[in-house]
Structure 1
Amino acid sequence: MIDLLLTRYNYVAVVLLLGIGAYMIIESSNLVKKIVGMNVFQTGIFLFFITSAYRVGGAPPVLTNEGPYVSPLPHVLILTAIVVGVSLTAVALALIVRIHSVYGTLDEDVLREVRANE
């Protein structure tokens, strides 16, 4: 079991990142901490896709005629996901700034109470 964990440490990092991100999203009542948790969770997903696309001795199919080849598709998808993630984070933080300017708090429980009283 220890040998498996030492050789597959990327997957251990993926599980840790996903767990930490999910915990931050679920347990935190602060909206900024939820966004940070979402970014940690996304990083775990990115690492999983890149790790699963790795091939020992693989080469890009463009540069050489000998195999094994590595598909560039997962890397391109992750680059696109990173751009979407940064955009999503920017929009979420802009909404959080607006929420704070209107309600004066970033705590989710306080926001629910304020919204219920309106």
Structure 2
Amino acid sequence: MELLVASAIGILTAAGLYLVLRLRTFPVIMGVSLLTYAVNVFLFASGRLTIGASPILIKGVETYTDPLPQALVLTAIVISFGMTAVIVMIALGAYLGSDDDHVDDPAEPAAEEAQ
């Protein structure tokens, strides 16, 4: 199970980094979202991967999961949703203001004249 979760974290991270390095706004936003999902799965996996274990200590229960990573992931999901909404609104404003969604800097005027 740990191998499956570690592979999922690696795939999410690789896809997120690939999309962040694109030159358009929407893939960058999707890449940042994938990176936050990878971090959330990593935090959740740090609380011990056990199936059917109780997150609360009860008498007679020997195996339990740590509830702190679960609370951190829940908080991170809410924060990442809000930040994604803010980033989408900023990107939409930039697109509507310039009619272009390129992330890179505009070309130099001298470079345009040389072409």
Superposition TM-score tier, normalisation by shorter sequence: 0.7 to 0.9
Of Structure 1 and Structure 2, the greater helix share is in 1
* 1:9 and 2:4 are equivalent in the alignment: yes
Instruction: Quote the sequence identity (%).
Output: 22
Aligned letter for 1:33?
A: P
Report the aligned-residue RMSD: 2.0
Please, which of 27, 30, 33 is the counterpart of residue 36 of structure 1?
30
Q: Which runs of 4+ in 1 moved over 6 A?
A: none
**For 1:1-118, what aligned pairs fall within 5 Å after superposition?**
8-26=3-21, 28-56=22-50, 58-62=53-57, 64-65=58-59, 66-109=61-104, 112-113=105-106
Give deviations 1:40-92, integer Å, cap 9, x for gaps: 11111111121221343632225x22222221110000010001100110000
Instruction: Give structure 2 stretches of 5+ with no counterpart.
Output: 110-115
Q: How far off is 1:9 after superposition?
A: 1.0
Alignment length, in residue pairs?
107
Tell me the secondary structure at the aligned position of residue 20 of structure 1: helix
**TM-score, structure 2 as length reference:** 0.82
Q: How far off is 1:98 after superposition?
A: 0.7
Instruction: Give structure 1 stretches of 5+ with no counterpart.
Output: 1-5
